[in-house]
Amino acid sequence: MKKLVISGGKVLKGSVEINGAKNAAVAILPAAIMASEGKCVIENIPDIEDVHCLERILKSLGCSVNKICNNTLEIDATDVTSINACTDDVRKMRASYYFIGALLSRFKKARVELPGGCPIGVRPIDQHIKGFEALGAKVTIEHGAVIVEAEHLYGTNIFFDVVSVGATINVMLAATLAEGTTILENVAKEPHVVDVANFLNSMGADIKGAGTDVIRIKGVKKLVGCDYSVIPDQIEAGTFMIAAVATKGDVTIKNVIPKHLESISAKLSEMGAKIEEGDDSVRVYVEGDLRGVNVKTAPYPGFPTDVQQPMSTLLCIVPGRSIVSESIWENRFKHMDELKKMGANIKVEGRTSIIEGVEKLTGTQVIATDLRAGAAMVIAGLVAKGQTEILEIEHIDRGYPNIEDKFTALGADIYRVEE
């Protein structure tokens, strides 16, 4: 059993380097299988469990995957031997569904087990399927696997019913090697959607408009290997920004794109925290009093659902009432029960939580119920009086590289126990 043990009350000070974005990397790695010639050398890949899973899946499909150094992978997909992604790793994680779009694009067929991932809601894939079918693929689900096949894929207009990161990326992958032009409307605009489009363009794709509501994809005949560097992780950065404020510290968060953090910076400023933006860094510190605020999650450029859970922890300890509305996932409040064990005053009503700030949280044993809930518990432990033990930290390892080392370097008292 693994757990994190934190003695709270230390003020975080110093600087921290943010890794490459998990949700970009987990789409870019499956997309690398679309290069039929040459090698992809991808830098700034975070060293997290979800990436390790994808490396194993790529190898199981016949790709050669070499770790050039800590955060750089070289992928050669010239001799892919299988279009069947049906291993435990595929079932374990969400992003394995990008192999459907990537394999369909290059080989016009794929069989991929239905994906797992954080238990934060129903997580349907109807919009992915709608997109593949519109491009001309036949999609069936048999024995827990999605099977897609097409004689040809033809470009078309697709209007998504909901704004979905996964569906936008997956259908963009499929359309990249289709014949003719595809226009995707009502798409997700998250920085990682733009990063995947940039990666595909570096391999020879012709994609315009990523980051706006409409993406135009002119199908190309083939993709070739390229050198690419993944963007910094907006969510990891947001987590450290919140931890800095929660401990009333002074932390410079480096290797970030401040524009991607605007909704988080704005909310922290509204609470009374100080934010100083540099070219590729943000300094976050507290001078004076903080106050409760209302937070409503929304697709980019709105406040990210993935930062809602860490933010909730901070709101538990600032004076006044805060209201948190979760509009993306119907089951992303499990961390509230864990926070209550630490003395938080929270009332959950459906997708809304009403938080009355308390003077302090107190340490106890809590569970990381999912990835970002785990980050929320780490921040709770950092500010709580006494010792906090966080169990089920494999969720945290899926998305945060060396979390305890990074917080230790900022002055926290946190360590990992493996029994």
Which residues fall in the annotated binding site?
22-23, 94, 123-127, 306, 328
Q: How far is CA 300 from the centre of its chain?
A: 13
Instruction: Report the site for ligand EPZ in 159-178 (rule: CB under 6 A).
Output: 162, 164-167
What is the Cβ-side half-sphere exposure of residue 53, based on CA atoms within 13 angstroms?
27
Q: Which one of the spans 9-17, 61-69, 113-121, 133-141 is the region binding ligand EPZ (CB under 6 A)?
A: 113-121
Count of C-beta atoms within a 10 Å radius of residue 20:
25
Q: Looking at 10, 91, 111, 128, which residue binds ligand EPZ (CB under 6 A)?
A: 128
- Least distance from C-beta 128 to ligand EPZ, angstroms? 5
Instruction: Report the site for ligand EPZ in 176-195 (rule: CB under 6 A).
Output: 188
Which amino acid, 60? Answer: S
CA–CA separation, 19 and 42 (whole Å): 13
C-beta of residue 322 within 8 angstroms of C-beta of residue 294: yes
C-beta closer to ligand EPZ: residue 115 or 343: 115
Q: Looking at 71, 84, 96, 127, which residue binds ligand EPZ (CB under 6 A)?
A: 127
Q: Looking at 12, 16, 26, 307, which residue binds ligand EPZ (CB under 6 A)?
A: 26
321-325, strands of its sheet edge to edge = 295-296, 321-325, 352-356, 345-349
Q: Looking at 6, 147, 173, 371, which residue binds ligand EPZ (CB under 6 A)?
A: 371
Q: Looking at 23, 71, 84, 263, which residue binds ligand EPZ (CB under 6 A)?
A: 23
Handedness of CA 382, 385, 389, 391 (dihedral sign): negative
C-beta closer to ligand EPZ: residue 3 or 395: 395
Count of C-beta atoms within a 10 Å radius of residue 126:
11
C-beta closer to ligand EPZ: residue 76 or 113: 113
- Least distance from C-beta 254 to ligand EPZ, angstroms? 21
Q: Could you give the C-alpha distances from 15 to 236, 310, 355, in angstroms and in order?
A: 14, 19, 30
- Least distance from C-beta 198 to ligand EPZ, angstroms? 16
- Least distance from C-beta 276 to ligand EPZ, angstroms? 27
β strands within 332-386, DSSP E? 345-349, 352-356, 365-367
- Of 53, 63, 118, 226, which is the active-site residue? 118
Number of residues that bind ligand EPZ (CB under 6 A): 28
C-beta closer to ligand EPZ: residue 39 or 332: 332
- Least distance from C-beta 366 to ligand EPZ, angstroms? 18
Q: Which residues are annotated as a binding site for phosphoenolpyruvate?
A: 22-23
Q: What is the DSSP string of 130-185?
A: HHHHHTT-EEEEETTEEEEE-S--B--EEE-SS--HHHHHHHHHHHHTSBSEEEEE
Query: DSSP state, 390?
Result: E
CA–CA separation, 419 and 178 (whole Å): 51
C-beta closer to ligand EPZ: residue 184 or 286: 184
- Least distance from C-beta 330 to ligand EPZ, angstroms? 7
Q: Which residues are annotated as a binding site for UDP-N-acetyl-alpha-D-glucosamine?
A: 94, 123-127, 306, 328
Q: Which residue is nearest to ligand EPZ (CB)?
A: 166
Angle at CA of residue 260, ends 181 and 390, nearest 5°? 115
- Residues 231-270, one symbol each (x = binds ligand EPZ by CB under 6 A, - = not), give ----------------------------------------
Could you tell me which residues come within 8 angstroms of residue 169 by beta carbon, excluding any fewer than 6 positions away? Answer: 27, 98, 101, 188, 192, 193, 196
Q: Looking at 399, 406, 407, 410, which residue binds ligand EPZ (CB under 6 A)?
A: 399
C-beta closer to ligand EPZ: residue 57 or 318: 57
C-beta of residue 198 within 8 angstroms of C-beta of residue 210: yes
Q: Which two tokens stand for residue 414?
A: 């946190």
State yes or no: residue 121 binds ligand EPZ (CB under 6 A): yes
> Is 316 tagged catalytic?
no
C-beta of residue 30 within 8 angstroms of C-beta of residue 232: no
What are the residue numbers of the active site? 118
Summarize as ranges the residues that interact with ligand EPZ (CB under 6 A).
22-23, 26, 94-95, 118, 120-128, 162, 164-167, 188, 305-306, 328-329, 371-372, 399
